[in-house]
Every structure is written in C-alpha cells, then in structure tokens.
C-alpha cells in the first residue's frame, strides 16, 4: 500500500521533460501523420521488473491531449513479467507519439530504481534488515526516485539536508570528535528531529552510543566488526550499515543483524527497465 506522489509534484517534472523535447518547434515528425489519426498502444515490459511511476506516463500523454485515455493494468509496487502489458492508452496519434519518449524515459528510470531496490530487498529476505536509499539521487528527480525505492520494497532515508541531522566524518572532524558533534546535535535538535551519526570504528560506536542518537551509521565495517557492533549496541539504537554493499555482499551484511542497509546504487546507478510502447 504505497502512497502515490501527488500530481502536483510530478507534473512539473513531466512538463519540463516534454518542453525539453518539444524545443521551439514542437514535434516536426508527428506532423507528417494525419491530424486526426488515432492510435492504440500498450506499454509493455521487455524484461521482468517492478512497476513504479505510471503516473508519469499518464501525465505525459494527457498533457499532450487531455482526451487520451490511459489505463494502468499493473499498479505501482507490483511486478511485471517479461512481455507483460503494464498499461494501455488510446487517443490522438500525434499526441501519443510526441509524448512517447518522455513517458518512457521517466517510466523506465523509475521502474529501474524500483527493480534494483527489489533485488536488494529480496536478497535480504528472511532477515529483519531493511533496505534504504541515500541522497545520491538524480538532480530534479529525488521525490520520484525515493518513491521508486518505496515501490521496490525499500524505505526512505531522509529526503534532504533539513529533515534529519546526519553527522558524517567531515562533520565529526570539524567538531572535534563524535562525542562533541553529538553533544552539539542534541542541543540543536528539535523534539522531533532525528539524529544519526556516522562512525568508522567500534571505539567511535561506543562514544556515540552514550548519546543515544536515533540511528548510528556504521560505514565500511568488516563483517566481523559489524557483528561486534550489533552485539555492542544490543538494540539500544538502530544500526545502519553502508559501504561495500552490492548484491553479492548485501545478505552477509544483513545477517550480521544490522537494522538497515543503505545503498547509493539504488538511485545513482540503476539501469533503466526496458519498457516499450507498442501500437496494437
């Protein structure tokens, strides 16, 4: 039960993408087709994957012509088999062909992020560990990509710099230590502001635990150290692991007992899901 993003957040992204494509002359190839020709198309998954972002496709098509009919057949957060029809649309041929690339560019990217997330989520299935994203998102697409992670079964990390304090190594260095940084954070935080701190070794972890932050990010720990960290923490605060995470390593990391694993690749390097638009 994933909450869709409101059209108000998606439409500007779609409009900007369409405008980028239409340039100053509009679609000079679609103009070769009869103005009242109609087209019936399906969005078909070329490969198996997790669906996410259908609203982008709908908004691209209907922006070119509000009379285009769009129907989703597989909903965001569900899986599409290879060859499956995800959605169908019908309407003015020029409108559909003009919007095609924008619709597919967005849909493919968002499904791509969801599908990669799903792979990580499946890899840790059976453990209690959850998969989360980072701020390594595509500029302009953060809301959509973090939504895609949720569609893939992951959870959202903070959305930006203002909704949680996350003390990283450079902040620790600038403050003069994990303890001093957390002391300042505690003093600055509101009653609802989450605090997370990155630690690079077990000594820092112990230092951090004394301040009871909401989450401790244990970065680039060996599996052995991860296990020690989990033991040392004993459930007092949530532990987030990061660094060296890929589909081969993620399960071992999860099995150390960390609560969350954050994966930058979910949003910075997910290949698109290959989706085609076929006339029917």
| Positions 204 through 223 that interact with a second copy (CB under 8 A) | 214-215
Nearest approach, Cβ of residue 247 and a second copy (Å): 14
Residue 45 or 165: the one with the smaller Cβ distance to a second copy is: 165
Interface with a second copy includes 139 (CB under 8 A)? yes
Q: Which is nearer to a second copy, 80 or 107 (CB)?
A: 107
Q: Which of 38, 128, 168, 236 is catalytic?
A: 168
Q: Would you call 198 a catalytic residue per the annotation?
A: yes
Q: Considering the rule CB under 8 A, would residue 128 count as an interface residue with a second copy? A: no
- The residues in 240-279 that bind a second copy, with binding defined as CB under 8 A, are 240, 259-260, 265, 268-269, 271-272, 279
| DSSP line for the chain | -PPPPPHHHHHHHHHHHHHHHHTTT--TTGGGS-TT-EEEEEEEESS-EE---HHHHHHHHHHH-TT-EEEESS-TTSEE-TT-EEEEEEEEHHHHHHHHHHHHHHHHHHHHHHHHHHHHHHHTTTSS-EEE--S-PPTT-HHHHHHHHHHTT-B---SSTTSSEEE-HHHHHHHTSHHHHHHHHHHH--TT--EEEEESSHHHHHHHHTT--SEEEEES--HHHHHHHHHHHTTSSEEEEESS--TTTHHHHHHTT-SEEE-THHHHSPPPP-EEEEE-
Distance CA 37, CA 30 (A): 11
In this structure, the strands spanning 79-80 and 49-50 are antiparallel
Site for a second copy in 99-118 (CB under 8 A): 101-102, 104-106, 108-109, 112
**Is residue 168 annotated as part of the catalytic site, yes or no?**
yes
Neighbours of 65 (CB within 10 A): 15
Among 42, 84, 89, 94, binds a second copy (CB under 8 A): 94
Site for a second copy in 179-198 (CB under 8 A): 181, 184-185, 188-194, 196
146 is catalytic: no
Active site residue 219: yes
Subset of residues 24 to 53 that bind a second copy, contact rule: CB under 8 A: 24-35, 37, 39
Among 92, 115, 137, 242, binds a second copy (CB under 8 A): 137
82 binds a second copy (CB under 8 A): no
Q: Is 136 a catalytic residue?
A: yes
Among 19, 82, 203, 210, binds a second copy (CB under 8 A): 19
Among the options 135, 136, 186, 251, which is catalytic? 136
Q: How far is the CB of 162 from a second copy (least distance, A)?
A: 3
Question: Hey, which residues are catalytic here?
Answer: 101, 136, 168, 198, 219
């Amino acid at each position: 039960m994933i909450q869709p993003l409101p059209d108000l957040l998606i439409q500007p992204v779609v409009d900007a993408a369409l405008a980028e494509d239409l340039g100053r002359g509009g679609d000079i190839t679609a103009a070769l087709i009869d103005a009242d020709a109609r087209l019936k198309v399906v969005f078909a998954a070329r490969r198996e994957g997790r669906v996410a972002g259908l609203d982008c496709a709908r908004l691209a098509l209907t922006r070119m012509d509000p009379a285009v009919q769009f129907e989703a057949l597989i909903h965001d957060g569900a899986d599409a088999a290879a060859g499956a029809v995800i959605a169908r649309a019908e309407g003015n041929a020029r409108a559909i062909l003009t919007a095609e690339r924008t619709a597919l560019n967005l849909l493919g990217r968002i499904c791509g992020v969801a599908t990669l997330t799903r792979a990580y989520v499946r890899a840790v299935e059976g453990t209690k560990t959850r998969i989360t994203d980072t701020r390594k998102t595509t500029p302009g697409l953060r809301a959509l990509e973090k939504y895609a992670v949720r569609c893939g079964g992951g959870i959202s990390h903070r959305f930006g710099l203002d909704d949680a304090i996350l003390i990283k190594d450079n902040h620790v260095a600038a403050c003069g230590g994990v303890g001093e940084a957390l002391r300042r954070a505690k003093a600055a935080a509101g009653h609802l502001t989450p605090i997370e701190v990155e630690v690079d070794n077990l000594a820092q972890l112990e230092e951090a635990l004394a301040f009871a932050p909401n989450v401790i990010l244990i970065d680039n720990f060996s599996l052995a150290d991860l296990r020690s960290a989990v033991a040392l923490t004993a459930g007092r605060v949530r532990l987030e692991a990061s660094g060296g995470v890929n589909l081969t390593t993620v399960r071992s990391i999860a099995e150390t007992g960390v609560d969350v694993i954050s994966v930058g690749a979910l949003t910075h390097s997910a290949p698109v899901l290959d989706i085609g638009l076929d006339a029917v």
